[in-house]
Amino acid sequence: MICTCLWRKQRKSSRFLDETIAWYERHYDLDRKPIKRVGGKGDFSIPNKYVSEGRYYVGEAGGLQDFMWGFGMRYAITSGVLAGKSILGELDYEQEVRKRLLPLVKSSATNRFLMNRMGDRGFKAVAKYWMRDQHRTGDGLRFMRLIYKPGILRRMMWPFVRLGMLRKGTTPDGRSYVRMPFRRALKRDDWEPSREAELVALEWKMKQNEGGRTSFQAGD
Ligand SMILES: Cc1cc2nc3c(=O)[nH]c(=O)nc-3n(C[C@H](O)[C@H](O)[C@H](O)COP(=O)(O)OP(=O)(O)OC[C@H]3O[C@@H](n4cnc5c(N)ncnc54)[C@H](O)[C@@H]3O)c2cc1C
């Protein structure tokens, strides 16, 4: 499986996958057969309720994911277990999510807010420090634990993060949320595809004519 992730709104999003496949073909000896293209749109949001009208919102459906890296498997499993326990009457899902998961999600959003302000150079400096710390202590998670700790400083920053980075909205079932808006495309997102990527696109078009399916709107 070959994937590509886009972080800004893009025209003709499938050209990025064509280019990624072409890159892999240039660098590796692939025995590749196009079968299907799957994809989706990620969304970073924090709802005001995790249980509504008898529905339990777990994992990404509840906005439970890391705003920095998009990781959400642990959140999905943990919230799924908590929802199960809540249904069995062992705990209160809403309360547990707010106590155990929401502070981490907010920390991750605060880290994203800070990183957006630091720019590429700042991010590289932090990444280098993280690598050095891992080398020195033999524990790569130590630094991560430190920057994810929902301490007083991060809690004080939260109103600024909310105001500066998140936008309000309402779900079709009437729950309100704050979410991170998609960033607009940049000038540099307009480029000409490579010859190899054009061939990959052509190959996929032929596959589509034979019934190859795409599970999402490619935006073109
Ligand atoms: C390319 C990529 C790489 C990632 N890498 C990592 C990583 O390294 N580490 C990490 O922690 N996280 C990673 N993530 C994020 C992680 O995959 C998700 O956060 C996690 O899978 C969310 O789990 P979930 O159960 O909430 O949702 P999903 O895994 O999206 O599951 C939702 C399921 O519901 C189904 N569904 C949707 N609508 C309906 C419906 N109406 N009826 C029935 N079924 C429906 C969907 O088909 C899907 O199977 C990655 C995500 C992507 C896209």
Atom of ligand 1 nearest to the CA of 74: 11
Does the structure show a pLDDT above 90 at 6? Answer: no
Handedness of CA 59, 40, 105, 164 (dihedral sign): negative
pLDDT tens figures, 133-145: 999 999 999 999 9
Task: List, in order, residues 6 or more apart from 73 with CB less than 8 Å away.
Answer: none
In whole angstroms, what separates CA 72 from the centre of its chain?
8
Spans of all domains in the chain: 1-43+187-220, 45-179
Q: Closest Cα to atom 24, ligand 1: which residue?
A: 59
Atom of ligand 1 nearest to the CA of 61: 26
The DSSP symbol for 168 reads E
pLDDT tens figures, 33-54: 998 898 887 789 999 999 999 9
- What's the 134 CA to ligand 1 centre distance in angstroms? 29
ipTM of the complex: 0.96
**Burial of 102 from C-beta contacts in 10 A (0-12 / 13-18 / 19+):** middle
Question: In the numeric block, which tokens belong to residue 147?
Answer: 């920057």
Confidence of residue 215 (pLDDT cuts 50, 70, 90): confident
Evaluate whether 169 touches 46 at the Cβ level (below 8 Å): no
Mutation test residue for ligand 1: of 6, 37, 71, the one with most atoms within 8 Å of CB: 71
Alpha helices in 33-140 (DSSP H): 73-87, 93-96, 102-137
Task: List, in order, residues 6 or more apart from 56 with CB less than 8 Å away.
Answer: 50, 83, 86, 87, 93
- What's the 183 CA to ligand 1 centre distance in angstroms? 22
> Which residues line the pocket of ligand 1, CB cutoff 6 A?
3, 5, 59-61, 65, 70-74, 76
